[in-house]
Structure 1
């Protein structure tokens, strides 16, 4: 299934998309959030669709919100593609690199993004994102991970590189948590709809290609990421995990950083696309 949230910021309504139709989920839930996911919401939607009990929703012209309401945490895996580690001046990590972004950075996939005041190195990063559906703590094996995943979506892990690397004090959070720095969506795609082990992911700036890779090149794959993080922290329903970005960002020195008026487009096979105008 493909779940989405449509409407103005703060007033999004949950829907499920089936072919070219959308169905209203408000008879089942007020939102797509951790409570909905933890309480078996996806299965209730599946049953309601099969029964034909959901009303049709008119979503034409409505804003596309992030497909999950504000998560309790946004976890990010750093340098998870070997070529990106190399362009960043680092060797591929032997251990999973973890950092966090502020949850209030999450915005819709087509929302305009403001370049932060005094920023000169705002950068793009296309990433596969995991949405947790069931609390995960001390999982016994990688094979258990899939039972704790609600679905997948696209993330743009925007970064201000000066703040991240030069004035960071050793932590990346300052360079990752500016307003609007986590465009998410357009849809939450359940695991039965897509095999995320080998998907093409790409980014473009002003129509010019930047990143072009496959999730099969991840150093730490999706099952390992969820299992590994569960050994160090408790993943809550609705939490988002960004799994890392491939080579082709401005940090490489091959491309200019973003400026006002630039348009960034991202797509991941099977998950849709994003587009942001930078102001």
Structure 2
């Protein structure tokens, strides 16, 4: 199953996909809620069985993708791919290196990423992101952590590198408005390998593939990250954990290669799809 958060006719809507068609959740059944989507409830699946005969799909010319955020927290792992650690010359962390992103730093699929006046160094980072189906806190096992996963989506942890590296704290460089992206949908965990393992992920700018990695290269895998996180910070249904990026980022290249206005940044993850965003200067 796939679901998206959309703007349709000026309203924020949850939509569920059947093939290439999207249907408003509230039109499938007015009693369905975000919880049904996150937990993949049997009631939702029953409605999907005959949705195409009972409901009209959304006119895709009238919809705009929003980041699929139904929770409150967005946590991100830094330096979590072995090849990315090597390209930065960093020591491998002994414990997950986590930081926070805020919702207004993100845009949806096909929405513009913006280069702000304060910095020209907008960098790309393709990441697998985890969306939780239920609360998770305290001491949990790996199995319990993975059982709490609703699904997976694509995350561009867009970073303003000069702002990021001005101090030991990355908050400024990771939270500039419209600098990152998420979407276009969440694919339910049962449609992907357990823990999102073995998935190829890439960044393309035009005809050039700048990142080409695999989630098997994660230093701390999805279960590791969740177990370590919730031991200290409780997570709730809909919260998001982005798992880090592989080698090939712009600031590690010689010379550095940052996103430019007029380009299109395309992130691809096997089994999920493509997250695409044009690049422009902030207005």
- Summarize the alignment of residues 87-126 of structure 1 with structure 2, pairs less than 5 Å apart: 87-126=87-126
Decide which structure has greater strand share: 2
Summarize deviations over 1:174-220 as a string: whole Å, max 9, x none. 00001112311111110111111110000012321100011111111
Q: Mark the runs of 5 or more structure 2 residues left unpaired by the alignment.
A: none
Does the CA-based 8 Å contact 1:123-1:159 persist in structure 2?
Answer: yes
Alpha-carbon distance change, 93 to 135 in structure 1, aligned in 2, over 3 angstroms: same
Does the CA-based 8 Å contact 1:31-1:69 persist in structure 2?
Answer: no
SS in 2 for 1:118: coil
Structure-1-length-normalised TM-score? 0.90
Give the equivalent residue in structure 1 for 2:229.
Answer: 229
Once the two structures are overlaid, the 10-residue window that deviates more, 46-55 or 116-125, is 46-55
SS in 2 for 1:65: strand
Give the equivalent residue in structure 1 for 2:173.
Answer: 175
Distance in 2 (CA, whole Å) between partners of 1:158 and 1:188 is: 19
SS in 2 for 1:212: strand
SS in 1 for 2:66: coil
SS in 2 for 1:198: coil
Q: CA RMSD in A?
A: 2.3
Alpha-carbon distance change, 44 to 105 in structure 1, aligned in 2, over 3 angstroms: farther
Structure-2-length-normalised TM-score? 0.89
Give the equivalent residue in structure 2 for 1:265.
Answer: 266
Alpha-carbon distance change, 43 to 145 in structure 1, aligned in 2, over 3 angstroms: farther
Summarize deviations over 1:219-264 as a string: whole Å, max 9, x none. 1111111111110110111111110000001111234212221221
Deviation at 1:104, TM superposition (A): 1.9
Deviation at 1:8, TM superposition (A): 5.2
- Summarize the alignment of residues 66-215 of structure 1 with structure 2, pairs less than 5 Å apart: 66=66, 68-69=68-69, 71-165=71-165, 167-168=166-167, 170-195=168-193, 196-215=196-215
What count of residue pairs does the alignment treat as equivalent? 275
Does the CA-based 8 Å contact 2:7-2:66 persist in structure 1?
Answer: no
Give the equivalent residue in structure 2 for 1:249.
Answer: 249
Distance in 2 (CA, whole Å) between partners of 1:226 and 1:269 is: 22
